[in-house]
Copies of this chain bind each other. A is one copy, B any other.
Amino acid sequence: MSVDRLSWQIKNEATLGELVQLMNLSADEAAILKSLQDKAHQQAPAMREDFYERLLSHPQTAEYFSNVNMNHMYSMLQNWFVELFCGVYDEAYARRRIKIGDTHVRIGLPVRYPLAMLDVAMAHAETVARAHAQPDAAATAVRKVLALDVAVFNQAYEDRQIQALAEMVGNERLARRLLSGEA
């Protein structure tokens, strides 16, 4: 890797617009998602139940919930799920999703845990999609918006880590090269 990359110039909220374009998330798909938001609202408690049943059964993840107001956590998770179906995937949306990633970074949570919950969210999101008159198109839209969410969420981890390293070594380019093992 002897060159800088175009992709390194795209940061923070701008990553969402880039990914919407990469993934061809269309206006029609955004409209399908929006039309399913009420259904998502109905599905959210069942999703939250499966989600927390898994997290609280496992000592390594349950540990993060000691001394935490669980009602607040439940409500945050349900809101996260419903907002997947908001229909507007712009910079303000990206900012809200990145903020969720940042919160997870701040508590020192290894990134594998939120990612290993994806199948639960996906199963419930597909249940929502099946309520649409065009279930296949809806399933495609639902998969895109969840992949988008994972990518942006995760970018918060990468950005935070690159930033921490860049602060120590004095510049971001060197930080990226250190991380790739090329510096």
Q: Which residues of A contact B (CB under 8 A)?
A: 1, 5-8, 10, 15, 18-19, 21-24, 54, 58-61, 63-64, 105-113, 115-119, 122-123, 126, 139-140, 143-144, 146-148, 150-152, 154-155, 157-158, 160-162, 164-165, 168-169, 176-182
Which 5 A-B pairs rank lowest in CB-CB distance, beginning with the nearest?
Answer: A119-B143, A115-B151, A118-B147, A112-B151, A7-B60
- Tell whether, in the assembled complex, residue A116 and residue B161 are in contact, meaning their CB atoms are under 8 Å apart: no
Q: Which applies to chain A's interface (DSSP): helix, strand, loop or mixed?
A: helix
- Tell whether, in the assembled complex, residue B5 and residue A108 are in contact, meaning their CB atoms are under 8 Å apart: yes
- Tell whether, in the assembled complex, residue B58 and residue A22 are in contact, meaning their CB atoms are under 8 Å apart: yes
Cβ–Cβ < 8 Å partners of A118 in chain B: 143, 146-147, 150-151
